[in-house]
């Protein structure tokens, strides 16, 4: 029988992979993909707990709002990346390190 634990293991795996992507990837779009993995893992948690831990649809509604937030974040992130691309393209390709780390 597929129980709560199965779903939680999947979400833990996704969360860990998401963190790995965020830590090791250099390209901003890649990091954004990692962030989407993290948010999806949280969503799986929410829907699984909604089924097994709360007798109502609270978790599913929570997940809907998380999807909304993720979409807005991705849109703004890509807007910024595109804006940066425009600036950098007109100057020579070079590292984004004008701000001291």
Partner 1 sequence: MNINLLTQIVFYFFAGMTVLSAGVVVFSRNLIHCAFALLFTFFGVAGLYVFLGADFLAGAQVVIYVGGILVLLIFGVMLTQKLYELHLKAETFQFWPAFALTAAVFLTLITIMVRTSWHKTDLQPLDPTTARIGALFMREYVLPFEVASIFLLIALIGAAMIVRRRSE
Partner 2 sequence: MNPQILKDLSLFYPEITLALALLAVIVVDLAMPAKERKTTFLVACLGLLLALAFTIPLFKVPQTTLFYSMVTVDPMSVFFKAFLILTSFLVLLAAPGSKELSKEHIGEFYALLLGVTLGMVLLASAVDTLMLFLSLEMVSLTSYIMVGYLSSERQSNEASLKYLLFGAVSTGAMLYGLTLLFGLTGTTKLSVIRDMLFHGAGAGNNSLTLFVLTVLVLAGFGFKTASVPFHFWCPDVYTGAPTPVTAFLSVAPKAAGFATLIRFFFTGFSTLSATSQWSAVSTMNWALPILMISLITMTLGNLAALRQDNLKRLLAYSSIAHAGYILMGTVVMTSQGLQAVLIYLITYLFMNLGAFLIVIEIYNRTGSFDLKVYRGFWKRSPFLTISMTVFMLSLMGIPPFAGFFGKLYVFGAAVNRDLAWYAVVGALNSVIAVFYYARVIKTMVMDPADAGGDEGRIRLSWASSVLLWVMLIPTAGLMLFWDRIQQLTLSSMKLFVQ
The residues, any chain, with a CB within 8 Å of residue 3's CB and separated by 6 or more, are 52
16: Cβ–Cβ under 8 A, 6 or more apart, which residues?
Answer: none
Residue 6 beta carbon to partner 1: minimum distance, rounded to whole angstroms: 7
Residue with tokens 């129980």: 3
Partner from partner 2, partner 1, none contacting 92, C-beta within 5 to 8 A by type: none
Give the Å distances, CA to CA, from 64 to 10, 27, 80, 90: 19, 28, 25, 40
3-class DSSP state for residue 67? helix
Shortest distance (Å) from residue 47 CB to partner 1 = 5
Q: Which residues bind partner 2 (CB under 8 A)?
A: 15, 18-19, 22, 28, 31-32, 34-35, 38-39, 41-42, 45-46, 48-49, 53-55, 58-59, 61-62, 65-66, 69, 72-73, 76-77, 80-81, 83-84, 87-88, 96, 98-101
Residues 36-65 that bind partner 1 (CB under 8 A): 36-37, 40, 43-44, 47-55, 57, 60-61, 63-65
């Amino acid at each position: 029988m597929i129980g709560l634990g199965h779903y939680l293991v999947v979400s833990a795996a996704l969360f860990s992979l998401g963190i790995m992507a965020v830590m090791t990837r250099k390209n901003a779009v890649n990091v954004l993909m990692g962030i989407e993995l993290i948010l999806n893992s949280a969503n799986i948690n929410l829907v699984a707990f909604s089924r097994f831990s709360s007798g109502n649809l609270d978790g599913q509604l929570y997940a809907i709002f998380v999807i909304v937030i993720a979409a807005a974040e991705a849109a703004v992130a890509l807007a910024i990346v595109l804006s940066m691309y425009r600036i950098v393209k007109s100057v020579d390709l070079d590292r984004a390190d004008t701000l001291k780390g």
